[in-house]
Structure 1
Amino acid sequence: MSTPRRQFLRLAAGMLAGGALAGCDRLSDNASFTGFLRRAQYLSRWAQDLLTGPDAMAQEFSEDDITSDFRSNGTSMPDSALYRELANAGFRDWALEVDGMVRQPLILSLAQLKALPSRTQITRHDCVEGWSAIAKWTGVPLSRVLDLAGPLPQARFVVFHCADPMDGSDRTAPQSTYYESLDLREARHAQTILAYGLNDAPLPVANGAPLRLRVERQLGYKHAKYLMRIALVDRLDGIRGGKGGYWEDLGYEWYAGI
């Protein structure tokens, strides 16, 4: 992503986040501003595809490049009684649900996910806040899980539901938790994985244990942590705020290509 566009995104993100914290999210309520962001993201994706191709790989690095400490950003321990119970038991009873527009709904334990063919990649995480870090991630390619579930022909998007409550008075309600989404093309990209390992160790709670999304060609807010459920859908406008993700509902771009 070009430097001016990256700077613009960081500025917009900071302004949105600050407004939300103050209870006065004027930018996210401004139809002209959010409309501009939505139009810009499609131009950005078209340009990226034109320059690099739809299957282009994000840069991968060597072990010598790994950042000494991969920081925890945002939530480091979900404020959820259910999640804490699962974590205290070493995620023995945790399972990933895969449902929606699929031929075969799935419930996969962590052990079952680890038994699937895996991929390890050393990549750079770029945050919209302005920091980057390089780490080694190990997990199962999302495409393998999708193949097991068998998306129906009308399925177009993959929605990731997390254990991380973000807002609302009922912090156990599904509408209060973090969520994200990808289209099927990005979901099936070779570097899009469900990661359970970080730097040759089990994924720490602070970084999204037991399972997080890695979508290496997009900015950090797309990399949903604390995964609980994956649903395949034909459209996004009927889910929560209708923009395809927690931050997107507040005005961020849905396509956050780097």
Structure 2
Amino acid sequence: MRQQGISRRCLLGFATVAGSSLALAGCSNFDFLGDRDNDVREFLSSANGLTYRMQRLLLGNTWLAPEYTEADIRQAQRPNGTTAVGTEEYTRLANDGFSAYRLTVGGLVERPASFSLAELRNMPSRTQITRHDCVEGWSTIAKWAGVPLSAVLDQVRPRPDSRYVVFHCFDNVQSDGAEVQFYGSIDLVDARHPQTILAYTMNDAPLPVANGAPLRVRVERQLGYKMSKFIKSIELVSSLAEIQGGHGGYWEDQGYDWYAGI
């Protein structure tokens, strides 16, 4: 059964990985993809939309990514993206074990709220052993535990016009020549998927800073760059047009696909 699931992931993820590989190859031959008006980029974006629709059609909204056993965890979880946050705010929280941390959730919701890490830990939890697939070509298997994002959404009650969940994070990145805090997004379908969790432990230990403490999102049906780390707040929106460059996330504004299904 597992082999069949992996095969379907590879088949359906091919178009997304192929398109992303061009933009992420690090080769100067593809620098033109950073131009938001470029015809090739627009073509890749349309292919990404097709991949999104086809995966939803063929697999549905509740298909589960493969899960593994503890015997399959053979190496430490390799960090992806930023591995340290040097801001005064984050350093203060980390030095105190994130006891003063609060996750704020707002935007298009009926009941905006904020949650301490202890409150999130007291909510229903889910543990899953899954494979992290990076667009750079590596993968590792790790055990994650956290609160299902759907449980948090149930607390704040998304409004009918909400379509996307945006993650605002503590780490700073450069975007259009300015320093901004990292941002990413998924749609409500993936947000409510049973395997989408706000992880606070990894391999039975508190989530390390290098892997995104105090919270990172796990979106097991997508590539690793969609799994925002160091989450500061969550915002529900009806459109991604007003989120920085308008493509739904920091990496997407640099040319990555918004939907990275595998």
TM-score normalised over the length of structure 2: 0.90
Instruction: Report if the CA contact (8 A) 1:243-1:254 is conserved.
Output: yes
Counterpart of 1:153, as a letter, is P
Match of 1:158 in 2: 165
Moved more, 108-117 or 37-46: 37-46
Instruction: Report if the CA contact (8 A) 1:156-1:183 is conserved.
Output: yes
* Per-residue deviation, residues 21-62 of structure 1 (Å, max 9, x unmatched): xxx942211511221221111211222223322211000011
Equivalent residues in 2 for 1:1-258, closer than 5 Å = 1-2=10-11, 4-5=14-15, 8-9=18-19, 11-15=21-25, 17=26, 25-29=31-35, 31-167=38-174, 171=179, 176-258=180-262
Q: 1:223 to 1:67 in 2, by over 3 A?
A: farther
* Per-residue deviation, residues 56-108 of structure 1 (Å, max 9, x unmatched): 10000111111321111221111312111111111111110000011111110
Counterpart of 1:28, as a letter, is G
* SS in structure 2 of the partner of residue 237 of structure 1: coil
Counterpart of 2:207, as a letter, is L
Instruction: Report if the CA contact (8 A) 2:24-2:256 is conserved.
Output: no
* Superposition RMSD in Å: 1.9
Counterpart-to-counterpart distance in 2, 1:66 and 1:13 = 31
Counterpart-to-counterpart distance in 2, 1:109 and 1:47 = 38
Q: 1:7 to 1:150 in 2, by over 3 A?
A: closer
- Alpha-carbon shift at residue 139 of structure 1 (Å): 0.2
Counterpart-to-counterpart distance in 1, 2:112 and 2:56 = 32
- Alpha-carbon shift at residue 6 of structure 1 (Å): 6.0
- Which 4+ stretches in 1 moved above 6 angstroms? none
Counterpart-to-counterpart distance in 2, 1:233 and 1:5 = 27
Counterpart-to-counterpart distance in 1, 2:213 and 2:224 = 16
Instruction: Report if the CA contact (8 A) 1:78-1:84 is conserved.
Output: yes
Counterpart of 2:24, as a letter, is G
* SS in structure 1 of the partner of residue 145 of structure 2: strand
Counterpart of 2:65, as a letter, is A
Equivalent residue pairs, number? 250
Instruction: Report if the CA contact (8 A) 2:15-2:47 is conserved.
Output: no
Counterpart of 1:198, as a letter, is M
Consecutive unaligned residues of structure 1, counting only runs of 5 or more, are none
* SS in structure 2 of the partner of residue 166 of structure 1: strand
Match of 2:5 in 1: none
* SS in structure 2 of the partner of residue 26 of structure 1: helix
Counterpart-to-counterpart distance in 2, 1:41 and 1:7 = 10
Instruction: Report if the CA contact (8 A) 2:16-2:51 is conserved.
Output: no
Consecutive unaligned residues of structure 2, counting only runs of 5 or more, are 1-9
- Alpha-carbon shift at residue 170 of structure 1 (Å): 6.5
Counterpart-to-counterpart distance in 2, 1:194 and 1:139 = 5
Q: 1:200 to 1:40 in 2, by over 3 A?
A: same
